[in-house]
Amino acid sequence: MEILYFAVLLLTVLLLAYNRVSLLVAIAIMVSLTVIWTELRHLFYVPSWFRFAHGIIAVTLLGFAIKPLRRLLISDRLFSLFRKAMPKISSTEQEALDAGTVWWDGEIFSGRPRWRSLLKMPAPALSDREQAFLDGPVEELCRMLDDWEICDTWRNLPEEVWEFIREHRFFGLIIPEAYGGHGFSAQANSAVVMKLASRNLTAAVTVMVPNSLGPGELLLHYGTEEQKKRHLARLASGEDIPCFALTSPAAGSDAAGMTDTGVVCKGMYQGKEVLGLRLNWNKRYITLAPVATLVGVAFKALDPDGLLGGERELGITCALVPADTPGVEIGNRHMPVGAVFMNGPTRGTDVFIPLDWVIGGRERIGQGWRMLMQSLAAGRAISLPALGTAGGKMAALLTGAYARIRKQFDVPIGFFEGIEEPLARIAGRTYRMDAARDLTLVALDEGHRPGVLSAILKYQLTEGNRVCINDAMDVHGGKGIITGPSNYLAHAYQAVPISITVEGANILTRSLIIFGQGAIRAHPWLLKEMQAVSDPRPGARRSFDRALFGHVRHVISNFVRALMLGLSGGFATRAPVRGPTATYFRQLTRMCAAFSFVSDLVLITLGGRFKFKEKLSGRLADALIHLYLGSAMLKRFEDQGRPEDDLPLLRWAMDDSLYTIQESLVGVLRNLPLPGVGSLVRWLIFPLGRPYAQPSDRVGREAARVILSENEARDRLVAGVYQSDGDDPAGQVLHAFHLVVASANAEQAIRNALNEPVTFENYEPLVQRAVESGVITEEQATLVRLAQQAAREVIQVDDFPRSRIEGFEEPAFRPAVGTG
């Protein structure tokens, strides 16, 4: 009986913590229960210790609710300790933390995500004008692009392509119509880049860069009205080709460590002496630099003579410099692997510019890093994720088709279990990538600027592209490794490192940015604590007290939630929907609580040392990444009306994500520098053992079959990429795939009746015999013949005359166009 009462008391406390009841409500509940149990003792036995315990808990909570008392006894004593223990944040780190907004990442860190708010977000949608642009100019531009000729013959876009891009204002996707651009949404911007990337990476990068981090976006958000009028219309029309010079030889990932300078001085401009900046820069890896007519430059502004009346070191600043300005050196090229988009170094020597060439004018001097971080918080979620998703979609589209066309042992190779595995990975990962891309774009168009989620998207979708392309190469075998016009994978395979490296190298992004900044930025209390202990004002201790006890309540609640959700297998929480996804909502809620608790445990135990624990940070980043990806997939499934034929893709991807979250958290706990703590916490969050496994063979088979046949789930998966109906290599594969699927029943009928498989060598006599014996119709015979002919064409690879290879001379670069 005593044990039962103890269990009731414990359950009461756990429920209060689980539901994050406020202190005042908890006190009222415990006082009420004390009174109730005291009255009930007249009806049946109620131990005195049980009633007394309720009162003690109420009094203890009351002590915590009295703020002057808890400050005197606890928070004021910890204030100085926290001030010493908290890691120092540099000014550049602070500006990165201040960039963007917190959105669903905050819900994940809360440990208690509000699913209904996510499900209320709009579904992805394009306007009629945006869709017309995709169906018209973008489709036409894709038809103009020949990947082999661009990359291996001309090493440049043909001049007619440059002219088409200008004519249809592809450089003005994000520029408002009032300035001559299209004023498209983030979703439309991404859709354009994705479709172009599915055809030719060089064209996609050429279009995406002026619409990403660079002069156009910086001008829109920070430029003066005069600067907007002067530059935006010329940028939208392609009259000016922009580039933005940030990376220097001495400063790659550490962009704030650049040595490029701009010294405030007086100089001559248009025949008059004006106050300006004398710039010296040396930049590399700058996309569009060889053809740029307008150069955006980031540099450190210095004012040694105090001409602006303030500090001598003013900070990173961004300016726009016409390429024909004296001292500007431009024109050489780098050659990125697998692509030939214009990229190269740019230098400036004693380049004098007036102050009004600074983006935003004189008032924006020293604010360049903040401007770049704010722009990156949104832009990083658009362009490179579009490239990554395009790679996944094309891998699914063409590899599924090829695996159905190509036969070995008289069976399509896609039906072998060894091939099913990479096909399932391609299909499942592409589903996950596209879901995350869509959700983040909707958030951007709703006004959010989720810096942490943008970093997740850039990292995960470029990594997902790498896996999909590698798997596609494995499935294609020899077809994928012989170069030539008919190889539609080689350039995508070669170019994979480009998106992995740019806009924040993926190793850095995973090990430092995603969780390192996410924990501070998106955690409900950590940043408030850090701000309080670094605040010299008298009210800082009160702010610290509120943040500290909010954090304590947060940790206790997530500890209890992780334990109770673990013991119940996730069923201690309610899913926002019914049906096949309900269990996934519950499991993600469970893992959010576990992730949040483990995150706090790591941060509390390591303090400022965590800044140097990049392996732990990387594992926590993996968990955070897949919590977001899982959320995006569930949202996508609901947005699309819960299509049953998408369930194999959803199940494969969700099972894979849950398993990754689990193993990431276990990896963190196994490597905690506190002996025994990791094992104890692992038991608390996984009390019944590890619940998640990698996707089963059955689920993998079902996911693979989605891309091995013509069906609506496949159509949804690959929607948005260019699907050629012409005689180019990709068009040949899709044409052959359609014929092979359409003729499958007739081929099987021939095999059953004549006891002989249909092959390239014997199909003519077999088909004729089958028609004559009435096994198939003449119409079916025509399908089989066409399918065999098309399949034979698809599996061919290119060969070249020995004279061309042995005496091969590099073609001269075409003259650079786009010089205004």
Structure tokens at 500: 């992995």
- The residue behind tokens 């200008």 is 166
Region at 123 (left for phi over 0; alpha for psi -120 to 50; beta for the rest): beta
CA-nearest of 793, 732, 789, 742 to 763 is: 789
Burial 548-580 (b: 16+ CB within 10 A, else e): bbebebbbbbbbbbbbbbbeeebebbebbbeee
Structure tokens at 305: 């003579």
| Amino acid identity, position 801 | P
Q: Which of 130, 420, 421, 503 is catalytic?
A: 503
CA-nearest of 110, 222, 105, 204 to 151 is: 204
- In this structure, are residues 368 and 317 in contact, taking their beta carbons and an 8 Å threshold? yes
CA-nearest of 327, 332, 380 to 505 is: 380
CA distances from 687 to 2, 103, 567, 691 (A): 25, 31, 6, 10
- In this structure, are residues 370 and 95 in contact, taking their beta carbons and an 8 Å threshold? yes
H or E segment to which residue 268 belongs: strand 261-269
CA distances from 496 to 33, 222, 336 (A): 63, 33, 10
Active site residue 463: no
CA-nearest of 452, 462, 589, 579 to 521 is: 452
Tell me the β-bridge partners of 286.
Answer: 344
CA-nearest of 740, 655, 651 to 702 is: 651
The half-sphere exposure of 568 on its side-chain side, counting CA atoms within 13 A, is: 17
SS3 151: helix
Structure tokens at 2: 């005593």
Active site residues: 503
